[in-house]
Structure 1
Amino acid sequence: MDLNWLDDVLVLLEEGNMSRAASRRHITQPAFSRRIRGFEGWLGTDVLQRGANSVDISPALRANEVEIRALAARIRDLRSKIAHFDPAGSTVSLAAQHAPVFSTFPDMAVHAKRRFPALKFRLRPGNLRDCVTMFLRGDANMLLCYESESAGPLPFGDSIRRVIWGNDYLIPVVGGALRYAVKHDGTLAANTPAIVYPENSYFGEVLNKSERAFATQALSENPFCETAFSSGIKELVLNGLGVGWLPFSMVYKEVESGEVISLANHLGKEQLKIALYADVRDEIAVSLLDVWNAAHR
């Protein structure tokens, strides 16, 4: 398979016209048409709907544009890794939930750089489902995620190794002017605005299962804003716009300074583990697991 074919197809999708696409690729239209036929021959199916006086792009090709772009990027990345392979100076791709990117990864990176000074990282944040997909598909060398006590480890096979970086927990906090709405007994009015997680997000599912007040739409009388991004919730909480549930590692400094008030004594907290996964066949990823595992023994 010629990588140029993928580039041709992507340009065709962008232009929507054979003539303009050929011009962008700096070749004649007949030559461009032959390359598209070469791609179709490799694929085993047509990507163009050719009529007597028209040529249309098939809906199937348009629907898979994102996958084609990802495939082209992975091929280029593989080619670069093979051509410029240096174990100590490799780039490790890490699929990570948004919250630990902010709360955990900076400390992890410090430990990694001490052991592998030339090592580079490519962070690929997303929700847990997307991160697992990237990891299993090979788009990321490693997976960094939170695991609730109730859910336990992800159900990977023996080829995937797991280590625990440390423990964390979700706590409800308030900041800004809303701090003064906290009563002497540490409670808040039930209709206090809340920054809530979507119920289909990982934290939303965890907090819903435990029926934590102010956590999701279903558990809040006055949900002001819904978002799966913990960093966004933190900023909204700091501005006094609502109660929010956040990993303690993200707000411990603000709790200590009094910038936010923890409501965990009244509303409870959710225990979490910070887990790392890597394929046992990936030498660099396994070496990193060893470094990070040793840092928290």
Structure 2
Amino acid sequence: MSHSSPPPAKLAENIPQLMHHLWKPFLHDINATHFLTKEGYYYKYPKDTHRWSQPLRKKLLILDVDTRLDTGPGGIMNKTTLNSKGMTGRTAGMMNHYLYAMIHGYDYRFIRAPSYPNRHGTWVKVPMIREALKTHKIVVFLDADAIFMYPQLPFEWLMRLWNITDNTLVAMANDPNSPRNRDANGQVMQNTGFIIAQQSNRTQELFYDWEQCPTDIKYKGCKRWGKDWAHEQAAFSNHVRYDYNSTEEVRVIPCMDGNGAPYIGDKTCGGVFIRHHWFHKDYPIKDMHQLILDAF
């Protein structure tokens, strides 16, 4: 079928199938050995990386979690028709995640989590990811201000690039290397705005330890991270990861690939594949518009 041919009418009744149909001609081969970015960065697989050669489809979940329900103007849960020019940055971010899931046939969920007593709101992602792992092999969580920059790129391809193996429990990108972003041992913290988690009994143990960290039962001194910045991120980086310190178990994704953006001061954190707009919450709107224009 040529690109100009209209999609079959039956596909129009099913938005996920329609999105997959529209993007199918542009999808990057899951087994391709290299990828050239818009910025001119050339990525090639190392020879010894784990190969994810088959699509995971519904075994992979793209997950959004929040205690807030956006029903105001431009909100994703607004009952009026969504206007691309009036949507909020949070709506654009979640629409990017949902679109990415539809394109590749992954599962998608938005969970409105209950507020966490005596903890900062960002803590809710930890128990929600743990629960989602009971029904999915891979869970990919993103904050609403983090987006997929290349919708045509299968997530299996990225997992191979970052050498996510069968023994990997979680993977997160490093934060920029600055004193503010280091843990008590002087190691750069891993950013929890983008998390890859793989189901296993040991992964369940990790997320349980993480959720329980501020109780101070296992990890003394962790209570402060219930409310102090950087909340669950500081709890993981200062305490939990040191009990799961195998390189394979806790994989570090380069900051250049999975955190930050080109406009920040640290040029080693360019957000090439996952762009994270920490301080510009409206930027996902512009990125979402540009991704659609680039594709069609």
More helix by share: 1
More strand by share: 1
TM-score range, shorter chain: under 0.3
Q: TM-score if structure 2 supplies the norm length?
A: 0.24
Q: TM-score if structure 1 supplies the norm length?
A: 0.24
* Structure with max Cα Rg: 1
